[in-house]
């Protein structure tokens, strides 16, 4: 087996991984950095983010306002000390990206423009048309080429972490091109592998978003936190789940039901003003808007499409010029895939799974409980999203905490010594053996694609927009059954070079572990909060018992154990979450109290 | 060791004769007409130097059916070349930005082609009517 | 309610496994499809239900990650962005991108392309460096328009598969790398064009281009790499001439 020795290993080269690599290279130019990804960096799913990235910019805005929106948007399940750090560092990170060339959209005078976004009280979303993630990713990717200490291994698929002497010290990779294994050992390891949305059937995520890093850390005893909170994005393409950015509503788009009625006014987000306003109607938070869809569907007020019910995203009143300037990509998506000219007709949309709020447990400086291990971006749970992430906080998160992870890992690597190479390579060979056992398993087992379809269907049924205890329990049972059957799947392809039958099967193993964590975390949380809504007697938020993070712990051969940990509350005690007019009244009442 | 063995497909020698490159090939070949027409003019110049007899013979050849067919063909090829020349003009010049937005390439082609048509027509009119 | 896949279409896919095959060969699959299915979804159906060994790259499904470029009926296309209904009644020929070595089935070698991008110094070299604390640079919409389309390149490599000159000479820097170079050279914040000019010179630089224009025709993001290449022909000529003058001055 090939062995590469580095000082810092970064698994995943999307936005967070690249930002971490650059930060580490700048913080400690003498350290060697191995940046390893199962795809070329520009294919990472950061590329698909559309709407924008938050950062306080306008004079009328404040860090306190960004903090308040984030914490109430997260239904008070946020780590408030971490949110404070986050909002302070968003804008400098956006400026840093600008200095590296990110083509932020501008006002006519050449200053940065910001757009409105859901759940944000004031416009603070930096954007590059509706291809913000694409531009951030390519800016970081190209900037990373500047640093000779960053050595990339592209299309190297991680099959296991190397943990010895109580700390993370590397990982084992399968090179797609050769089918051979490589061990990379390092004194600090950063996981930046993104989310796990592909465990659901309809999702906005790319095929690579399979929760690899979450499962790897979990299997090595690192808890996954708040995994029951899966975000449904309310405006996606029926069938494929491809995303239509929230920026479409930020620019003034309306949501209508089959009667042309702006139905969100019936769900505590009104009144329906003729123009969109921050935190009203279409600019409410994603959880509320997706939940409103669920109710409209049951009332029979949605339209039918070939891929299930849909409501209408109406941009026609914006005019063709504005659509083409601000939302060119979604205009093309609607036209090319659905045959809808968004300037003339409304676009049929429905909710689809978009974002994994939870993830690998890390502290406010991205350190996992396992020494030497760091995590950043969607795979991590640094604590800023709580029970519901606000749109445009995730690109900001990967910038802010990607940098933190790079700096922290560099400091850790400088202060620690190399581990026992012999023992690490023994572990690596054992991991290789396990992967090869799957490759070489003979007989006529089931196809892993069939198992995947059963898994995604079970997740939608038991861990969807609304959850019922007994349905969630059924999902847990189905997943246990699938895990058993997974142990016997066989591949069509037993050769080594570019065997994606093999890597997809390994990914399914990761997905089953993560899916089970989501299902058990959902089953145990007997309340409704943010993106986790129950209809079986637990319809309300229960701060007494559940103002707490769920932690899922790995148990070999058994269901995960769920425990709870306190939430850090610094300056915002849990309050009522209100939007639209109700939100304004609530703020007025609060202001009165302070007078 | 690794079983990786990338397979390199040969580039067909006659790619230029195949779809979708035929358009390009015709465009480039139509440029040769300029050289051919220059040769015709040059031969006229040589004939002029050689004296009146040679000059008259050259003029006679110009009026022959073979010459007329050649000139007709050269004219068609030249018009085609002009058309395609202006089609790629916007891609070979620096970006033209007016009032904050790039001028559409079709507009540049249209203006260029129009100017060429107007100038050529004026020249033809001048030659036919000889105002001076 | 879900539309039934009652129509079928034949996909003729070029297969190559270096472990078992001497050279590539075609294999036909009959794929049921609905009106909104892409070629990528057709391939996924084959991989999921008939032959798990079929190999291709894919991820985003929305024409932005650039993974799934392939030759579809001899044209370079993104498989996720090409709908089967537009190719009916078929058959549809699906092959790996032209001009690149085949690693396996529809997967081609990308390393050389990535090296080309790295060779053009593809990062911003500030004309007036300043710290983050001094805020963003100003850039008017007109200044942005000078490079914006070149910054939209998704690295899908369709332009290289369309370019016969790259097919003839794999050392030719090629369209996308030049678009990325021009993306920085044309940026009002950048002052690094002198560092990038070496990548532009010579037969392996812009002069390898004969203005075929196929690169811009096939680009799924309207980047217009042909424009970037040909703008740089002028830059390299000018640079050559100026260097010549400078040398004479110093003598």
Chain B CB within 8 Å of residue C77 CB: no
Q: What is the mean pLDDT of residues B108-117?
A: 95
Given a cut of 60, whether residue C3 has pLDDT beyond it is: no
Query: Between β-strands A359-361 and A380-381, what pairing exists: parallel, antiparallel or unpaired?
Result: parallel
Residue C136 shares a structural domain with residue C238:
yes
According to the model, what pLDDT value does residue C91 have?
A: 97
- d(CA A441, CA A437) in angstroms, rounded, equals 6
Q: Which residues of B touch C (CB under 8 A)?
A: 3-9, 11, 15-16, 19-21, 24, 28, 88, 90-95, 97, 99-102
Chains meeting A at 3+ CB pairs closer than 8 A?
B, C
- d(CA C208, CA C158) in angstroms, rounded, equals 18
Residue C246 shares a structural domain with residue C187:
yes
- Whether pTM > 0.90 for this model: the answer is yes
Cα of A210 vs its chain's centroid, Å: 11
Is B126 exposed, middle or buried, given 0-12, 13-18 or 19+ CB atoms closer than 10 A? Answer: exposed
Question: In terms of Cα–Cα distance, which of A403, A411, A389, A405 is closest to A92?
Answer: A403
Q: Domain map of chain A by residue range?
A: 2-50+82-87+131-231+355-427, 234-352, 442-540
Instruction: Identify whether C1 is part of a domain.
Output: no
CATH of the domain at C219: 1.10.1060.10
Cα of C170 vs its chain's centroid, Å: 14
Q: Which of A138, A233, A389, A525 is catalytic?
A: A233
Chain A: residue whose CA lies nearest to B100:
A108
Residue A489 · residue A162 · CB < 8 Å: no
Judge: C145–B97 Cβ closer than 8 Å, yes or no.
Answer: yes
For C126-144, what is each residue's pLDDT tens digit?
A: 999 999 999 999 999 999 9
According to the model, what pLDDT value does residue B40 have?
A: 94
Chain B residues with CB inside 8 Å of C93's CB? Answer: none
- d(CA A363, CA C239) in angstroms, rounded, equals 54
For C214-249, what is each residue's pLDDT tens digit?
A: 999 999 999 999 999 999 998 888 888 888 777 665
For B75-89, what is each residue's pLDDT tens digit?
A: 999 999 999 999 999
According to the model, what pLDDT value does residue C251 have?
A: 43
Q: Is A167 a catalytic residue?
A: no
Judge: B95–C146 Cβ closer than 8 Å, yes or no.
Answer: yes
- d(CA A544, CA A534) in angstroms, rounded, equals 17
Chain B: residue whose CA lies nearest to C235:
B94
CATH of the domain at C79: 3.10.20.30
How many CB atoms are closer than 10 A to CB A72?
26
Chain B residues with CB inside 8 Å of C226's CB? Answer: 88, 91
Q: How far is A262 from chain B (nearest CA, A)?
A: 36
Tokens of A71: 């914490």
Q: How far is C100 from chain B (nearest CA, A)?
A: 7
Instruction: Using 50 as the pLDDT threshold, list the residues of chain A that sit under it.
Output: none
What CATH number belongs to A2-50+82-87+131-231+355-427? 3.50.50.60
Judge: C136–A43 Cβ closer than 8 Å, yes or no.
Answer: no
Q: Which domains does chain B have, with CATH numbers?
A: 15-129 (1.20.1300.10)
- d(CA B60, CA C130) in angstroms, rounded, equals 76
Chains meeting B at 3+ CB pairs closer than 8 A?
A, C
Judge: A495–C67 Cβ closer than 8 Å, yes or no.
Answer: no
Q: What are phi and psi of B98, to 5 degrees?
A: -120, 130
Residue C174 shares a structural domain with residue C200:
yes
Chain C residues with CB inside 8 Å of B21's CB? Answer: 164, 212, 214
Q: Which of A43, A45, A249, A577 is catalytic?
A: A249
Instruction: Name the residue range of residue C225's domain.
Output: 111-250
Domain count, chain C: 2
Instruction: Identify whether C211 is part of a domain.
Output: yes
Q: Is A135 a catalytic residue?
A: no
User: Max CA-CA distance within chain B?
Assistant: 86
Residue A94 · residue A260 · CB < 8 Å: no
**Per-residue confidence band for C198, with pLDDT thresholds at 50, 70 and 90:** confident
Given a cut of 80, whether residue C1 has pLDDT beyond it is: no
Residue C118 shares a structural domain with residue C179:
yes
b/e map C30-64, b = 16+ CB within 10 Å? ebebbebbbbbbbbbbbbbeebbbbbbbbbbbbbb
Residue C223 shares a structural domain with residue C198:
yes
ipTM tops 0.90:
yes
Chain A residues with CB inside 8 Å of B2's CB? Answer: 177-180, 496-497
For domain A442-540, the CATH class is: mainly alpha
According to the model, what pLDDT value does residue C4 have?
A: 64
Q: What is the mean pLDDT of residues B43-56?
A: 95
Question: In terms of Cα–Cα distance, which of B70, C52, C141 is closest to A450?
Answer: C52
Chain B residues with CB inside 8 Å of A495's CB? Answer: 3
Instruction: Identify whether C195 is part of a domain.
Output: yes
According to the model, what pLDDT value does residue A148 have?
A: 97
Judge: C16–B7 Cβ closer than 8 Å, yes or no.
Answer: yes
Judge: C49–A449 Cβ closer than 8 Å, yes or no.
Answer: yes
Residue C97 shares a structural domain with residue C118:
no
- d(CA A15, CA A550) in angstroms, rounded, equals 27
Chain C CB within 8 Å of residue A48 CB: yes
Residue B6 · residue C103 · CB < 8 Å: yes
Least confident of A586-595, B14-23, C31-40, C145-154: A586-595
Residue C88 shares a structural domain with residue C116:
no
User: How many residue contacts between B and C have a Cβ separation below 8 Å?
Assistant: 77
Chain B residues with CB inside 8 Å of C75's CB? Answer: 20
For C138-186, what is each residue's pLDDT tens digit?
A: 999 999 999 999 999 999 999 999 999 999 999 999 999 999 999 999 9
Chain B: residue whose CA lies nearest to A179:
B2
- d(CA A368, CA A347) in angstroms, rounded, equals 43
Beta bridge partners of B7: C102
Residue C60 shares a structural domain with residue C182:
no
Judge: C214–B20 Cβ closer than 8 Å, yes or no.
Answer: yes
- d(CA A310, CA A430) in angstroms, rounded, equals 49
Residue C119 shares a structural domain with residue C72:
no
Q: What is the mean pLDDT of residues C45-66?
A: 97
Q: How far is C173 from chain A (nearest CA, A)?
A: 17
What CATH number belongs to A234-352? 3.90.700.10
Percent of chain B residues past pLDDT 70, beyond the cut: 98
**DSSP 8-state code for residue A449:** H
């Amino acid at each position: 087996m090939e062995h590469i020795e580095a000082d810092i290993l970064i698994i995943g080269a999307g936005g967070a991984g690249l930002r971490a690599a650059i930060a580490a290279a700048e913080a400690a130019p003498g350290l060697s950095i191995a940046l390893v990804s199962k795809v070329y960096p520009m294919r990472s799913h950061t590329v698909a983010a559309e709407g924008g990235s938050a950062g306080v910019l306008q004079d009328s805005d404040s860090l306190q306002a960004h903090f308040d929106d984030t914490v109430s948007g997260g239904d008070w399940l946020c780590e408030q000390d971490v949110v404070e750090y986050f909002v302070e560092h968003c804008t400098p990170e956006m400026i840093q990206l600008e200095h590296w060339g990110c083509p932020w959209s501008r006002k006519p005078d050449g200053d940065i423009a910001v757009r409105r976004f859901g759940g944000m009280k004031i416009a603070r979303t930096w954007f590059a048309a509706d291809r913000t993630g694409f531009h951030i990713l390519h800016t970081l990717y190209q900037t990373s080429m500047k640093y000779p200490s960053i050595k990339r291994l592209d299309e190297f698929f991680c099959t296991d972490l190397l943990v010895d002497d109580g700390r993370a010290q590397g990982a084992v990779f399968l090179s797609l091109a050769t089918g051979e294994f490589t061990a990379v050992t390092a004194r600090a390891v950063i996981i930046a592998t993104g989310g796990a949305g592909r465990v659901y059937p309809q999702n906005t995520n790319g095929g690579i978003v399979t929760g690899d890093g979450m499962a790897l850390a979990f299997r090595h005893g690192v808890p996954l936190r708040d995994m029951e909170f899966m975000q449904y994005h309310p405006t996606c393409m029926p069938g494929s789940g491809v995303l239509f950015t929230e920026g479409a509503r930020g620019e003034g788009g309306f949501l209508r039901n089959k009667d042309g009625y702006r139905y969100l006014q019936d769900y505590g987000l009104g009144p329906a003003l003729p123009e969109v306003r921050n935190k009203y109607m279409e600019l409410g938070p994603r959880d509320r808007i997706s939940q409103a869809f669920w109710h409209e569907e049951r009332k029979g007020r949605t339209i039918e499409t070939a891929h299930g019910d849909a409501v209408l995203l109406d941009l026609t009143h914006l005019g063709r010029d504005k659509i083409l300037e601000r939302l060119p990509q979604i205009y093309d998506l609607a036209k090319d895939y659905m045959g809808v000219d968004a300037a003339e007709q409304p676009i049929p949309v429905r909710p689809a799974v978009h974002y994994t709020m939870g993830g690998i447990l890390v502290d406010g400086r991205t350190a996992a409980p396992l020494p030497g291990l760091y995590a950043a971006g969607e795979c991590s749970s640094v604590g800023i999203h709580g029970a519901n992430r606000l749109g445009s906080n995730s690109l900001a998160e990967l910038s802010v905490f990607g940098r933190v992870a790079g700096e922290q890992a560099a400091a850790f690597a400088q202060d620690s010594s190399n581990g026992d190479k012999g023992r690490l390579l023994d572990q690596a060979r054992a991991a290789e053996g396990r992967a090869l056992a799957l490759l070489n398993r003979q007989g006529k087992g089931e196809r892993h694609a069939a198992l995947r379809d059963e898994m995604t269907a079970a997740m939608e049924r038991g861990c969807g927009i609304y959850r019922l205890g007994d349905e969630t329990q059924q999902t847990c049972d189905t997943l246990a059954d699938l895990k058993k059957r997974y142990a016997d799947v066989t591949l069509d392809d037993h050769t080594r070079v570019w065997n994606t039958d093999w890597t997809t099967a390994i990914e399914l193993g990761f997905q089953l572990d993560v899916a089970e964590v989501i299902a058990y975390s959902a089953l145990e949380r007997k309340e409704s909060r943010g993106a986790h809504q129950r209809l079986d007697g637990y319809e309300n938020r229960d701060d007494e018992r559940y103002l707490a993070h769920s932690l899922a712990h790995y148990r070999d051969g058994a269901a995960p154990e769920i425990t709870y940990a306190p939430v850090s509350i610094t300056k915002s005690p849990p309050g009522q979450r209100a939007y639209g007019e109700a939100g304004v009244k609530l703020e007025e009442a609060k202001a009165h109290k302070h007078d | 060791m690794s079983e990786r063995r990338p397979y390199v497909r040969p580039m067909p020698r006659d790619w230029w004769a195949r779809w979708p490159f035929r358009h390009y090939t015709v465009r480039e070949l139509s440029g040769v007409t300029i050289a051919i027409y220059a040769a015709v003019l040059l031969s006229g110049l040589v004939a002029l130097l050689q004296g009146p007899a040679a000059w008259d013979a050259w003029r006679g050849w110009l009026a022959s059916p073979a010459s007329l067919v050649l000139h007709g063909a050269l004219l068609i090829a030249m018009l085609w070349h002009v058309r395609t020349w202006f089609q790629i003009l916007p891609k070979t010049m620096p970006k033209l930005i007016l009032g904050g937005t790039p001028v559409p390439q079709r507009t540049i082609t249209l203006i260029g082609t129009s100017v060429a048509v107007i100038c050529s027509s004026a020249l033809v009119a001048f030659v036919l009517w000889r105002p001076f | 309610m879900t539309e039934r896949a009652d129509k079928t279409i034949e996909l003729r896919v070029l297969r190559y496994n270096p472990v078992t095959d001497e050279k590539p060969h075609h294999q036909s699959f009959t794929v049921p499809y609905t009106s909104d299915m892409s070629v990528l979804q057709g391939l996924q159906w084959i991989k999921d239900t008939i032959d798990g060994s079929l190999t291709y790259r894919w991820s985003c499904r929305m024409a932005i990650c650039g993974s799934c470029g392939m030759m579809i009926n001899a044209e370079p296309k993104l498989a996720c962005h090409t709908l089967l209904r537009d190719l009916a009644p078929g058959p549809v020929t699906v092959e790996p991108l032209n001009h690149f070595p085949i690693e396996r089935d529809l997967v081609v070698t990308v390393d050389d392309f990535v090296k080309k991008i790295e060779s053009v110094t593809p990062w911003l070299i500030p004309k007036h460096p300043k710290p983050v604390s001094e805020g963003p640079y100003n850039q008017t919409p007109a200044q942005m328009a000078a490079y914006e389309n070149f910054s939209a390149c998704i690295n899908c490599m369709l332009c290289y598969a369309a370019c016969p000159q790259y097919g003839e000479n794999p050392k030719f820097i090629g369209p996308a790398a030049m678009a990325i170079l021009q993306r920085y050279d044309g940026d009002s914040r950048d002052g690094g064009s002198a560092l990038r000019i070496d990548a532009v010179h010579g037969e392996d630089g812009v002069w390898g281009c004969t203005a075929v224009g196929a690169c811009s025709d096939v680009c799924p993001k309207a980047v217009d790499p042909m424009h970037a290449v040909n703008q740089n022909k002028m830059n390299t000529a000018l640079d050559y001439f100026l260097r010549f003058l400078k040398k004479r001055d110093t003598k």
